[in-house]
Amino acid sequence: LENIQNLKKELSETFPEHDTPVGVLHPYWARKPLNIIEVIISNLSQEGDVVLDPFMGSGTTVFGAIKNNRTAIGSDLNPLSYSLVDGILSFQERPFQKIEELKVFVNEFSNQVLEWFKWDDDFYIERERFNVQGDFRDGKFNMSTVEVVLKKKIDGKWRKRTTINNNFKREFDKNAEIYLNDPIDFDNINLLKNSRIAIPEGARLSHFYTLENRAAINLALRLIDSKNFDPDTKKVIKLLISSALTLLRLSDKKASSQWPYWRPKTELTSRNPAIVLENRLKKIIAAAKWVKCNTDSNYNDYAINNSKDSKSINVSLYNEPIQNLPDKIIPKSSVDLIVTDPPYSDQVPYLEYSALWLDILGLGSKEELFQYEIVETDAPGRESDSEEFLLRLKSGLIACGELIKNKGFLVIFYQDWDLNSWNMLYEVTNIANLELREIATIPKQRRSMKTVTSPGKTLDGDQILIFQKNYKADRNENNTKYNLKDKVSEVLIETGEDAELFDKYAAVVKDSMKNHWIKQLAVEYNDLSQLIK
Ligand SMILES: C[S@@+](CC[C@H](N)C(=O)[O-])C[C@H]1O[C@@H](n2cnc3c(N)ncnc32)[C@H](O)[C@@H]1O
């Protein structure tokens, strides 16, 4: 019990930090705070223990495990996640040589691409703003340039910004034409319609990039193959391009949106790819140094190393759906600790979101993975409703239970008002012999739009659920019918009037799961808001 209470206390004292050098490298969604993950790992496992994240996303758990000398295993069904984490970790070997090769690559790329953006003898177009006429749907829109921002390079830095506002027609550079459709024909890559993530009917990849930037991406892809880069260097060049793809598209003024397909209706901005890549290179160098500082040698792609006295760091990465992990990939009962953040219902359809990267970087096809993805989506041809989502999540969590050793821990980030999903978790604990030990809450780093617009409706932060396998032999389940209002107020009295809504919420679900009244609660109420406020 001691380590769990200690963990809860440390979590309440730790302010979540999302922006580490490895974290900010790529716009992968729902990135978790590394320091929180590290607190969990250090309290619930020992050096050398096997720590797994079967929904690794941008790799936060994997990096946290490596940093704390654990044996790390990461897996995700999304090929983008695998290539991202694999690319970053490849800096364990020959990091400085790789950085030098990246510099050569960026230099060569810039030399060619800058010519397409030349304004006069000194200045280059750094960004271009367009007015849009017509409708984005089906690509029935025209753009005209209304503003350019110019920069010139002084002592190796892009400086001296001037802005020219004018309506003018800019010609597409003849030298760029040969790159326009090869190897990637942007005009022939269709995206799945999904209104939730702002992909309209008939959207094609060409609707998201200017001609110049399409040509620039193709030039970069061709450069990778034309040089004799070794496979590991190719990985990190792809990582560089991957980290720049959203910044190269037509977007809002700041190009800061985490939504890769969203775009303003009437005004669009496009940025100079050479300058974008030069900037991303700096981020990559920072990430490479982070990897170098936090890892040992012996990065091993495949084997699980269970030996506790080994000093070297072991990492294994897989691109597999969780449904395939137990026994096929990872032996059952072999993992000491799982720390993971499963997908939330319809928040992010990861495979649809990743289409841009998968298609441009040739990372793999998503269609055959659709059947496994734990997601709620109404995209045509792949409907998965909230019930299907819960079923898939349930089987994923049962798989987690199978992988954990006797008395090992499963820690998940979770939040949902819907009591059905809490009841599903309760059912999982029964099937997988997991016992809910504690629910800790941590605040969000930034206030989301939702919290501001509907306070009291949004759970502002994360709940961290700590389960232990085979903690108790018997579970004293009973069929008592409770007076739920009394039950809830009992818990709330104990929690205290002044507690945050979020903590009250966590206390109620914890008590109802531990004391077996969650099922009755889920049958009689949809969500907790009616009972808590
Ligand atoms: C909320 S994200 C994890 C983010 C991660 N915690 C981080 O810090 O970046 C959930 C991940 O689950 C993955 N996923 C969805 N269905 C899956 C499945 N059936 N098997 C494995 N991974 C899946 C998604 O691709 C996504 O990367």
C-alpha 244 – ligand 1 centre gap (Å): 21
CA dist., res. 95 & res. 105, Å (int): 15
User: Residue 188's CB: how many other CB atoms inside 10 A?
Assistant: 10
CA dist., res. 126 & res. 271, Å (int): 6
* Among 32, 40, 55, 415, residue to substitute to test ligand 1 (most atoms within 8 Å of Cβ): 55
C-alpha 213 – ligand 1 centre gap (Å): 30
* Residue 239 neighbours by CB under 8 Å, 6+ apart: 25, 26, 83, 84, 87, 88, 284
Please indicate whether residue 83, judged by its CB atom, sits closer than 6 Å to ligand 1: no
Atom nearest to 321 CA in ligand 1 = 20
Element housing 439 (H / E) = strand 434-443
Please indicate whether residue 377, judged by its CB atom, sits closer than 6 Å to ligand 1: no
Q: Using an 8 Å Cβ cutoff, are 148 and 123 in contact? A: no
31 secondary structure, DSSP code: P
Q: How far apart are the first and last CA of the chain?
A: 31
Please indicate whether residue 28, judged by its CB atom, sits closer than 6 Å to ligand 1: yes
CA dist., res. 277 & res. 273, Å (int): 6
- Indicate the residue type of 434: L
Q: Using an 8 Å Cβ cutoff, are 310 and 22 in contact? A: no
pLDDT, one tens digit for every residue, the chain (533 residues): 678 999 999 998 888 888 889 988 888 888 899 999 999 999 999 999 999 999 999 999 999 999 999 999 999 999 999 999 999 999 988 888 999 999 999 999 999 999 999 999 999 999 999 999 998 877 889 999 999 999 999 998 999 889 998 877 788 999 999 999 999 999 999 999 988 888 999 999 999 999 999 999 999 999 998 888 889 999 999 999 999 999 999 998 876 667 889 888 899 999 999 999 999 999 999 999 888 888 754 433 333 333 333 345 689 999 999 999 999 999 999 999 999 999 987 778 999 999 999 999 999 989 999 999 999 998 888 888 999 999 999 999 999 999 999 999 999 999 888 899 999 999 999 999 999 999 998 876 544 444 444 444 455 678 999 999 998 766 677 778 999 999 999 999 999 988 888 889 899 999 999 999 999 999 999 888 888 87
Please indicate whether residue 376, judged by its CB atom, sits closer than 6 Å to ligand 1: no
Find residue 130's DSSP bridge partners: 145, 268
pLDDT (tens digit per residue) in 29-55: 888 999 999 999 999 999 999 999 999
Torsion of CA 13, 18, 22, 25, to 10 degrees: -170
Helices (H), 115-203: none
